[in-house]
Amino acid sequence: MTLIFSLERHKAVMESYIRGLERLVDGGGDPATVHSVASFFVSRVDTETDKRLDAIGGDAAQLKGKLGIANAKIAYQNYLETFAGPRWDLLAQKGATKQRCLWASTSTKNPDYRDVLYVEELIGPETVNTMPEETLEAFQDHGNVAETLTKDVDAAHKLFDDLREAGVDYDGVVDTLEREGVQKFSDSFDELMDGIKAKRGELAHA
């Protein structure tokens, strides 16, 4: 599951995964054969939020570059809560595996930020980070390895309050990113199909 920006969308994705496993088990299937990740986008959240904070100006600038990580840290807390308890235990006993959080868009878009920011701050168990090559090399060179994903969760929640007070609409941020992301995927697919049609025409007339 990909192109996830919002916490509510992530919750819906996790719920769909669990419901799917339950239906599989009810139908006599083996949940151990199913594996999944929830691809949660990180740096793009800051790109959109920072743009809105720049428009507000003043002290709001102090909040820049923080929502992407805070958003991911709370998502991970939701993951821990979702894949625990009696409902999940029944599936786990039958061999089901958790739908891991996958941190996507973890290169730093703003040169003012540390180039390994979204790697260092999101290190934790049962997660995946799909960083681009230049970010991987930067982390190998000067990254700090420590479990950070479960740290400062209270501060992450407070950031949401601070952004709301500053005038940043979280729902507006993530809705914009999702809508633009879907459009980009759609445009890429259309471009691919046009390329295939053109190539097929060339071959047909060869």
Report domain extents, the chain: 7-169
In the predicted model, residues of the chain with pLDDT beneath 70 are none
H-state helical runs in the chain: 7-26, 43-56, 67-82, 86-92, 117-120, 133-142, 153-166, 170-204
Question: Which residues sit opposite 127 in a β-bridge?
Answer: 101
| Cα gap 73→154, rounded to integer Å | 10
Tokens linked to 57: 């100006």
pLDDT, tens digit, for every residue of 11-36? 999 999 999 999 999 999 999 999 99
Please tell us whether the domain made up of 7-169 is placed in CATH 2.60.40.10.
no
| Cα gap 131→73, rounded to integer Å | 17
Task: Give residues with Cβ within 8 angstroms of 156, minimum separation 6.
Answer: 69, 70, 71, 73, 74
Tokens linked to 145: 């390895």
Report pLDDT for 99: 98
Report pLDDT for 130: 94
pTM: 0.91
Report pLDDT for 107: 94
